[in-house]
Amino acid sequence: MAEKVILPAKVVPHNTPAYQALVNHYQWFKQQSLQKLFDADETRFEAFHLKDSDWLFDFSKNHLNEESLHLMAQFCEELELNQWREAYFAGGIINETEGRAVLHTALRAKASSEVFVAGENVIPKVQEAKKALKGLVESVLSGDWKGATGKTIDTVVNIGIGGSDLGPRMVVEALQVYQNKKVNTHFVSNVDGHELWHLLQKINAASSLFIIASKSFTTQETMTNAQTARNWLVKQLGEEAVGNHFIALSTNIPKAMEFGIEEKNVFGFWDWVGGRFSLWSAIGVSIAFATSWSCFEQLLEGAQKMDAHFKEKDWKENLPVLMAFIGYWYRNFHGTSSQAVIPYDQRLHRFSAYLQQGEMESNGKGVDRSGKTIDYPTCPVIWGEPGTNGQHAFFQLLHQGTDAIPVDFIGVVQAQHNLEGHHDKLLANLLAQSRALMKGKTVEAVEAEFIAKGVAKEDYEHILPHKVFLGNRPSSTFLLQSLNPQTLGQLIAAYEHKIFVQGIFWNVFSYDQWGVQLGKELAGEILPSLEKGAVNTNGDSSTKGLMQYIFDHQGRGAL
C-alpha cells in the first residue's frame, strides 16, 4: 500500500520574493520593445525556443529575456511546483473541494506504472477497462455487432455535452485523415432539438449505434437527447431493439439498465477523471470508432510522452511551465484580458473551443484555495478560429485594436494532402502574421511607401495614421511536424498541464466547477413554468417579461 500523498502548503503567490522581483522586472521590461530585443540579439531565437522530436515551440516573440526565465524558475520553486507536480501524478487530492484526485494522466500511463488512490493501484483497472473498450470497438468495426434486424453498424452517434462532447469531437475532426470507411461518427450535444432533428433525418435506425455519454446518466441535455433518440428508434424497430443500438458511458449502471441498455454495454470511469479531461477514458471511445483502437492508443501514447516531458524537464526547458508562465506574465503583469489560439490547420478548427472549456472552466475562479476573495486577475478569455479564416475576420483587432492580445499560433509542417500550392501559402501566412504582430509598421515606413508611389504629402498625410501598426504584440508559435494521433496527444496534454501550472500560479482549485451549478438549478425552477405555460411569479421582472413574450409568440398566452 502506498503512503498517503501529502500536498504542499498553500503558498500565496503574491507574498513570494520571486513575485516581488517579477514586479520590479516588469517595470523595467515594459519600456522594451520586441523589435529592440531582436535587433540587440540576432540569435534570440536560439535561446527562446524548445524542440523535441515531434514539435518546436518558439517563444522568442514574447516580452521575455533570460532574467525573466530565471525569475520564473525562482517563482516555481517558491510555490513548490515540483511537490505539487509530484502530488498531481501520484494521486494526491488536488481537487480538494470535491475530495478527489486528478488522474487523467493515469489513463495513458504505461501498464507497468503504479498510481495509488486510497491505497489501491488504479492502473490494473485502467488496463481492464481499456481491454473491454477495445473489444467493443473491434466488434463494431469488424461487423460482429449486429443491430436488431441483423444489419451491421455503419453509423455511431455520440450523445454528450461539455467534456463528453468537446474533446472527442475535436479529436475526431483533427484526425479526419485517419478515419475508417466502416462507420460514420456524429456528435450531438445541444439540447436545442434542431441538432438532433437534422441528424435523425439522415441516418438509418437499423444500422445506427448511439453512445450516451453521461457519468451520472442524469445530465439534462444529454438525457433529453438520448430519450428522443430512443423514442425515434423504438418507433421504427420496437422496444426490444434498444439493447442492440445503445451503449452507455456512465457510472450509473441501474439508470442505464432502466433505459434498456444491457449491463455489459455500460462502460464506466472514475471520479478522479474530470469531465473536461475525460477524452482519454471511455468517453473517448467515439474516437476509436471513427478511426481505430490502434489510433486511440497512439493518441494516449502521445499524451504520455508529454506527461514524461512535464515530469522530467527543468522549468526553463519545460513546455507546459513556459506556456503557463507566458500566459500568467501577460494576464497579471501586462493586464491582458484574453488569449487567442489560432491553429493554421483546418483539422484543428475545434481546438480553441475545446480549450475554452479546459482553461476557463478550470481557472475561471474568483476565490483562492483558502476561500478568500481574489483581488488579482485569473484566467483570461480563450478564443480563436483557424487561420487563414481568422485573418479575414478578427485579425484587424489583433493588429490595430486598443488591447494587446497574446496569440498562440499552431502550425503543422507536413501536409497530408497533395493539393499543390496550398500548404506553402498557409505556412507563409502563419509566419507572416506572427512577424507582423511583433514588427508592426512605422510612420516612416508608411510614408516611404507613399513617396515611392509618387503620392504628394498633402494627399496622404490624412491617411498616414490609419496605416501605422504599432507592433510589439506578442505571440508564441507551436509547430508540429505532422498532425497524427501521437502529436495531437502531445499538443492536448501540453495545454492540460499548462492549466494545472497556472492554477498553482493563481492559487486556485482548477478541477472543480461549482460556478456551472447555479444556472442548472435555476433552469430546473423555470422549466415547469415553461411546460405549463404559466409565468413564474417568483421570478424577477426581466425573467417574467421574457417568459410572457415566449408564451405570446408561441401562441399559448398566459394561462
What is the rounded end-to-end Cα distance, in angstroms, of the chain? Answer: 64
What does the alpha-carbon distance between residue 165 and residue 157 come to, in Å, rounded to a whole number?
Answer: 11
* DSSP per residue, 495-549: HHHHHHHHHHHHT--TT--GGGHHHHHHHHHHHHHHHHT---TTS-HHHHHHHHH
Helix H or strand E encompassing 478: strand 475-480
Query: What pLDDT score does 349 carry?
Result: 98
Average pLDDT across each block of 10 residues of the chain; the chain has 559 residues. List them in order.
76 94 94 93 97 98 97 98 97 94 97 93 97 98 98 98 97 98 97 97 98 94 97 98 98 95 95 95 98 98 98 98 98 97 98 97 96 96 97 97 97 97 98 97 95 95 95 97 98 98 97 86 88 82 91 72
C-alpha to C-alpha distance for 434 and 436, rounded to whole angstroms:
6
110 φ/ψ angles, rounded to the nearest 5 degrees:
-65, 150
SS3 at position 347: helix
CA-to-CA separations, 327 to 63, 323, 407, 437, 499, in angstroms, rounded: 11, 6, 10, 17, 10
pTM attached to this predicted model: 0.96
Cell of 342: 489560432
Residues designated catalytic: 361, 392, 520
pLDDT of residue 2: 58
- Yes or no: say if 83 and 8 are a contact pair by the CB < 8 Å rule: yes
Rounded (10°) CA dihedral 58, 63, 64, 68: -140
Place of cell 475526431: 172
Instruction: Give the neighbor-by-neighbor strand order of the sheet with 49-51.
Output: 49-51, 55-58, 475-480, 407-412, 338-344, 381-383
Residue reference for cell 445530465: 219
Length of the chain: 559
- Where b means 16+ CB within 10 Å and e means fewer, 88-119 reads bbbbbbbbeeeebbbbbbbbbbeeebebbbee
Rounded CA-CA distance 276/268 in Å is 16
Q: What is the CA radius of gyration of the chain?
A: 26
Q: Give CA–CA dist 127/352, Å, rounded.
A: 31
Can you tell me whether residue 416 is helix, strand or coil? coil
Q: What gap in Å lies between CA 514 and CA 521, rounded to an integer? A: 12
Number of Cβ atoms within 10 Å of the Cβ of 262: 14
Amino acid symbol at 42: E
Question: How far is residue 107's CA from residue 92's CA, in Å, rounded to a whole number?
Answer: 16
- Return the C-alpha cell found at 514: 461549482
SS3 160: coil
Cα separation, 84 vs 92, whole angstroms: 9
Residue 259, classified by CB atoms within 10 Å of its CB into exposed (0-12), middle (13-18) or buried (19+), is: buried
Closest by Cα among 546, 399, 389, 412 to 487:
412
Q: What's the pLDDT at 306? A: 98
Residue 167, number of CB atoms within 10 A of its CB: 27
Task: Name beta bridge partners: 121.
Answer: 116
β-strand 475-480 against 55-58: which pairing, if any? antiparallel
Helix (H, G, I), strand (E, B) or coil at 211: strand
Q: Are 165 and 218 within 8 A, CB to CB?
A: no
Q: Tell me the HSE value of 399 on the side-chain side, using a 13 A CA sphere.
A: 20
Helix (H) or strand (E) holding 229: helix 220-237
Cβ proximity of 98 and 512 under 8 Å:
yes
Look up residue 334 and give its three cell numbers: 501586462
Q: Which helix (H) or strand (E) holds 408?
A: strand 407-412
Residue with cell 417568483: 538
Residue 400 is placed in which grid cell?
Answer: 490595430
Q: Which of 121, 109, 100 is nearest to 1 (CA)?
A: 121
Contact present, 443 and 450 (Cβ < 8 Å): no
Nearest to 323 by CA among 354, 279, 359: 359
